[in-house]
């Protein structure tokens, strides 16, 4: 892995108001810009993991890099997934948006995020949520 990739911080944003999970470009870059990704939720340790997926997997989501190149992130909308995350979270509230900083596990080619380490969107800059 080159030095630039090792310095990137994987980030996802979760917006419970819009039922949206936003996967930031740095996170996808760490995974080697996969064509498909899969999200895994572990309720026991309250974590979300993102790994490379394959097109034949019904749980995989296609990543549209033409949109990401325009400054956007990969966006996934799922009311069921967000309700699942809300049910295992100790601190997330409905109608709020959060950012989670994760860890890249290169031996497993996976990025892992702890739901317990979510930060209210805007709180890291001292801004009230929109």
CATH number for position 19: 3.40.1550
In-domain check, residue 5: no
In-domain check, residue 92: yes
In-domain check, residue 114: yes
Strand partners, 77: 20
Taking only the tens place, the pLDDT of each residue in 23-40 is 999 999 999 999 999 999
Range of the domain at 51: 10-122
Nearest to residue 92, comparing CAs of 128, 129, 117? 117
3-class secondary-structure state, position 41? strand
Nearest to residue 73, comparing CAs of 16, 109, 21? 21
In-domain check, residue 127: no
The count of domains in the chain is: 1
Which pLDDT belongs to residue 72?
A: 81
Cβ atoms within 10 A of the Cβ of 130, count?
8
pTM of the model: 0.83
3-class secondary-structure state, position 125? helix
In-domain check, residue 24: yes
In-domain check, residue 2: no
Cβ atoms within 10 A of the Cβ of 22, count?
18
């Amino acid at each position: 892995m080159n030095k630039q990739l090792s310095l990137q911080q994987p980030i996802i944003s979760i917006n419970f108001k819009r039922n949206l999970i936003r996967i930031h470009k740095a996170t996808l870059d760490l995974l080697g810009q996969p064509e498909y990704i899969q999200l895994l939720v572990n309720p026991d340790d309250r974590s979300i993991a993102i790994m490379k997926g394959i097109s034949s997997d019904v749980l995989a989501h296609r990543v549209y890099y033409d949109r990401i190149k325009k400054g956007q992130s990969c966006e996934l909308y799922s009311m069921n997934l967000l309700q699942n995350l809300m049910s295992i979270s100790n601190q997330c509230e409905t109608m709020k948006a959060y950012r989670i900083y994760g860890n890249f596990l290169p031996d497993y080619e996976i990025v892992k995020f702890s739901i317990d380490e979510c930060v209210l969107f805007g709180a890291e800059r001292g801004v009230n949520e929109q």
